[in-house]
Amino acid sequence: MNRRTFLKTAGFSALATALGVKVVAMARHYPLEQLLLQLKRLPADKLSSSGQWSVSEILQHLAQSVRYSRLGYPEAKSALFQHTVGSAALNAFAAFGNMTHPLDEPIPGAPRLTSSVPNDVAMAELVAELEQFIAWQGELAPHFAYGSLTKQQYYGAHYLHIQNHLQQISLS
């Protein structure tokens, strides 16, 4: 195989893989309403965290993320990042049904999380933000890392983000 054929084949393979991941990502359904019901049933006062953040800080962080999808994120990555790395990461997460990211990394520009907020108050904030998001009929703000998303894409992003953080929360 000559170099030109190899480069064409490699480029086509990468493009086909990226398109395939996007198609699978868009076909998946993430039941945010069911996750909301599960969160409502959790006994907030009996939860503990195995991570760097307290349960309250995790719940506050998740509430911030959901709120910012409606009202706008305080800071954003570059458009180049959003259209390349960010978009590819979200498509991969959605296609594989699993998100992994640093679980103690705050949203850029977001107010500092407060460990003194009781778990039940933080849980109520997250539940309220999810309910508002689900009912939201207006335009959605671009995600700070993933860029402009449809409501379906945000459903997946929020669902996977919450599930990723819930891995650090358990009943104590």
pLDDT tens digits for range 82-141: 999 999 999 999 999 999 999 999 999 999 999 999 999 999 999 999 999 999 999 999
How far is Cα 32 from Cα 61, in angstroms, rounded to an integer?
A: 17
Q: 43 is in which domain, residue-wise?
A: 3-171
pLDDT tens digits for range 9-18: 434 344 333 4
Give the mean pLDDT of 25-29: 56
What's the pLDDT at 67? Answer: 98
Element (H, E) at 22: helix 3-27
Tokens (6 digits) for 89? 């990461």
Contacts of 42 (CB under 8 A, 6+ apart): 123
How far is Cα 13 from Cα 6, in angstroms, rounded to an integer?
A: 10
Name the domain count of the chain.
Answer: 1
Global confidence as pTM: 0.85
